[in-house]
Amino acid sequence: MAQALTRLNIKSSERNAAHKAADFLDRTAMLGHGGLFAITADGKTLTEELPRSLLAAMKGILAVLSETGEAVVLNPELEISAEKAAELLGMSRPLVYQRMDSGKLPFRLVGAHRRIRINDVMILKKFEERRRGFAEALTADAEKGKSAGRAKRSKKSIQRSSNLPRRPSDIDQLVLGTTNAPYRRTMNAADLVARITSRDWHDWTAHVVTFFTEVRPELVLEFARFHAIPIQDLATSYRSMKSATGEANPALESALEQLA
């Protein structure tokens, strides 16, 4: 039976051999033909030709083993426990349960236990890494601005942060990249604007929650400004989302209060 997660380990003394094997397979994968051979106890040679795709897959595993001595092979369609998901995501179990309860990590119940597809775990992992990357980039921009001696932001500068991209397409890309990342179904900027202004977002609850809680407040405000969403409508939609789901973003609340 296939395993959801298989750990491969080699001795430190074998890592150099793994490196040589990875280099060899890298070369053979470029050829028209390649394969493996083995010598039996009676000296007979057995050979098996393999397609390039398999040679490339083996090369990838060996390359990882040569660097760390350990590799993990995941079966994307099989399911794992919340505890194992937390290990793969590098976060605590309570955070994993929060991601599931908010709709960011799909799961199903087997009795009283939650089971999660590995593919969904990896989608969330990519989203979390992307979100951290955006946050780090924006923080770096802010720090660069401070070092250049920029004045403190005023109430007006919250509406138009000088540290953020100025083109609507840039703002949309950042906002939608975070809002859509955990989900298979995606929305465009027009969809998001319509949901916010009408507050009829119940078919898109998870996306709206992600927009208000995962997107940085400065980007939320820039998105609203570029799409002519009144601050009052933005604040009303946020409060409606918070009341319905219990999710909150204190930093965004603070910014909205300053603009009220």
pLDDT score for 137: 60
pLDDT score for 55: 82
> Residues of the chain whose pLDDT is less than 70?
1-2, 29-32, 131-166, 168
Amino acid at 255: A
pLDDT score for 236: 93
pLDDT score for 115: 92
Q: How far is CA 226 from CA 29, 146, 164, 237, in A?
A: 49, 25, 12, 17
pLDDT score for 154: 43
pLDDT score for 156: 47
6, two tokens: 């298989």
pLDDT score for 162: 43
For the stretch 136-186, pLDDT in tens is 565 555 556 555 554 454 444 444 444 544 576 788 888 998 888 877 788
pLDDT score for 95: 82
pTM: 0.44
For the stretch 181-191, pLDDT in tens is 877 788 999 99
pLDDT score for 164: 46
